[in-house]
Amino acid sequence: MPDSPASTSAGWREQPHAIVERDGVRYTLLGTAHVSHASVQAVREAIGSGAFDAVAVELDEQRLKAMGDPDALAKLDLVKVLREGKTPMFAANLALASYQRRLAEQLGIEPGAELKAAVEDAQARGLPMHLVDRDVGLTFRRALQGLGWWQRAKLAGGILAGLIADEELAEHDIEKLKQGDMLQASFSEFAEQSPPLYEALIAERDRYMAARLRATAGDAREVLAVVGAGHLDGLARHLREDDADPAATVSALESVKPKSSVPLLEIGIGVFLLGGFAWGFASGGFDVGADLMLYWVLWTGGLGALGCLLAGGHPLSILGAFVSSPFTPLHPALASGTVSALVEAWVRKPTHADFMALREDLNTMRGWWRNRVARVMVNFFLTSLGTAIGVWTGGARMLARLFG
């Protein structure tokens, strides 16, 4: 596509970009690398050219707030996060923060610096500034609702690895980030293997941002959209081709399917357990029934407690993990990871110093075990992982005992 006059007036035209004209508005999509000084300079040149009367940025409110307040995560109520079942989202945000910090130290630039520059320069010039990306927590919730238990386990393992990794990032990881965006680079390995995850993290966001650009254009006629280079093709395509009402598209892509009122998996496991115990007592007498119950308690409780122990949990947290693990499959409110993490946060209440040191401690594996906030997250994941292994192992042993 030939450059428009707006795109040839400054050196930023050498950066990847695309131009789409629709409904009387010309959208200039500037593709950036989130770890590039050149991208920061290009953004400043584009806005400084005076060719645009509105600026859109690939950010959501939460990420913009985190950029302006590096300690925003540290100000959350940890116990409230645990009780409301938002622990995976909080852990994912911590993993992203750790990933960003390692990038900043390795490359000498804060990831997303060009997005921050776009916001600051637009505000300094009094230009309308729109955040067009979807809330990161909402994106993860939509991603998770399309995953099976094994894919969720793999994703949880990847998040945990991201939490405790402290090695330098490989060159191919940095190249992925230069070509895409933070979420895509952080979870691309899982997204490439999982169509639902790819759809939520990458493809849906192209549609979402295209709809947001159309919905927020207002009276502007020249809009500069600063986005990761990996979004250029998809975003330009949706801007040209999508005919649906943008407000309806945004609403649809922000919705999350309500949890089923009938928890079929929990009911199935409950029927299996109670039926197995009843069959054991009925067909083999007290000894067989008692053995089945003992298998279940020892495998689920033992491995859940082992996970908590590996996380450096307090003895009371380990006890909480052991007691709650056998009941975890029956109801989400009895989840062993949540129970042990709540006990850990109560017994070893994080101090103000823990919250203030959080960003620094995220950089090393030792820091994750030393910092009480971070250790609660590790506790949650390792206890949950141990219990999950125990559920399948204990169930297999029960089946072998019943039919062996």
pLDDT, position 6: 40
Of 42-56, 137-151, 217-231, 386-400, which gets the smallest average pLDDT? 137-151
Give the model's pLDDT for residue 107. 66
Where b means 16+ CB within 10 Å and e means fewer, 208-245 reads bbbbbbbbbbeebeebbbbbbbbbbebbbebbeeeeee
Instruction: Give the pLDDT score at 167.
Output: 56
């793999």: which residue's tokens? 154
Distance CA(174)–CA(180), nearest Å, equals: 10
Report d(CA 19, CA 13) in Å as an integer: 11
pLDDT of residue 294: 84
Dist. CA 382–CA 157, nearest whole Å: 9
pLDDT of residue 142: 81
Answer yes or no: is pLDDT of 352 > 90. Answer: no
Q: Is the dihedral of CA 292, 293, 298, 301 positive or negative?
A: positive
pLDDT tens readout for residues 28-63: 999 887 777 888 899 999 999 999 999 999 998 888
Least Cα distance to 386 among 291, 331, 317 occurs for 317
pLDDT band at residue 3 under the 50/70/90 scheme: very low
Q: So what's the pLDDT on residue 22?
A: 93
Per-residue pLDDT at 354 exceeds 90: no
Using CA atoms, how far residue 139 sits from 9, 74, 204, 272, 362, in Å, is 36, 22, 9, 34, 23
CA distances from 174 to 14, 34, 177, 309, 360 (A): 21, 10, 5, 35, 21
Percent of the chain scoring above 70 in pLDDT: 72
Nearest Cα to Cα of residue 307 among 385, 375, 392: 385
> Domain residue spans in the chain?
5-254, 264-403
Q: Which residue has the tokens 């959501």?
A: 60
pLDDT at position 388, please?
A: 86
- Residue 32: other Cβ atoms inside 10 A: 30
Q: What digits encode the pLDDT tens for the residues 70-129? A: 666 666 677 777 877 777 677 766 766 666 666 666 666 677 788 999 999 999 999 999
Rounded percentage of the chain residues whose pLDDT exceeds 90: 31
- Within 10 Å of residue 42's Cβ, how many Cβ atoms? 26
CA 162 to chain centre: 11
Whether residue 215 contacts residue 247, with contact meaning beta carbons closer than 8 Å, is answered with yes
> Residue 1 pLDDT more than 50?
no
Give the model's confidence band at 21: pLDDT under 50 very low, under 70 low, under 90 confident, else very high. very high
- Indicate whether 8 pLDDT > 50: no
392 pLDDT higher than 80: yes
Q: How far apart are CA 291 and CA 275, in angstroms?
A: 14
State the virtual CA torsion across 357, 358, 363, 366 in degrees, nearest 10: 80
- Does the pTM surpass 0.85? The reply is no
**Do residues 306 and 348 make contact, with C-beta atoms less than 8 angstroms apart?**
no
The helix or strand, by DSSP H or E, that contains position 129, with its residue range, turns out to be strand 129-131
Helices 204-216 and 136-144 meet at what angle, rounded to 10?
Answer: 140
Question: What pLDDT is recorded for position 208?
Answer: 95
Angle, helices 372-403 vs 264-296, to 10°: value is: 80
Which pLDDT score, from 0 to 100, does residue 4 have?
A: 41
- Mean pLDDT across the chain: 79
- CA–CA distance, 77 with 164 (Å, rounded to integer): 22
State residue 2's pLDDT score.
36
For 239-283, the pLDDT digits (tens) are: 999 999 999 999 999 987 765 544 566 677 777 777 777 777 777
Q: Which amino acid is at 240?
A: R
